[in-house]
Structure 1
Amino acid sequence: MKIRTIVITTALSLFVTGAIAQESVKTIFKSNPRSSGGYGAISNKFTQIRGKYANMSGLYGGWFINQRLMIGAGAAAVTSNIPGVRIH
């Protein structure tokens, strides 16, 4: 009986949390919030090139248009000094 009460209480609390999360967005500045926005990020990755460890640094960015489409670009470069590797 006690386990049944715990299971029912847990299930109800999960459903209530989902229902509360469906409220509309409220802002201080405008009645309708902006539907577009942007992001930017830096990255640092480690890999191997010709058996030697290499460090790759990068930048990424994008624009999220009307909550439907993401347009973005990224660039990365090897920052380690590895002899014999040519970039054309």
Structure 2
Amino acid sequence: MGPKLMRLCAMALLLALACTPVSEAQDPKITCDLVCPVVPPGLLVVLPTLSCKYFCKCENVGGTPKTTLMECPPGTGFNPVLEVCDPALVLVPGCNN
């Protein structure tokens, strides 16, 4: 479990630099209504949503799990296999951008 969290952390840090948090009010159909896994302080976990345009970022803030809805940059979609915002994903049928 440790190495996977470390890998997720590295990917999420890259995503956090390129992606922006969004308010669920901007798209009320897309939410982070999920229970984040327990994440050690300083590490992040990213999880997909119903739309490949968004993903959920889970982190530990002062001992409390925090979930943030994030939006991929224009022209990309969240790839749950690679755990990155992927330009190739917008070409996939069913990607609800």
* Greater fraction strand: 1
The structure with higher relative contact order (CA 8 Å, sep 6+) is 2
Which structure has the larger Rg over C-alpha atoms?
1
Q: TM-score, normalised by structure 1?
A: 0.25
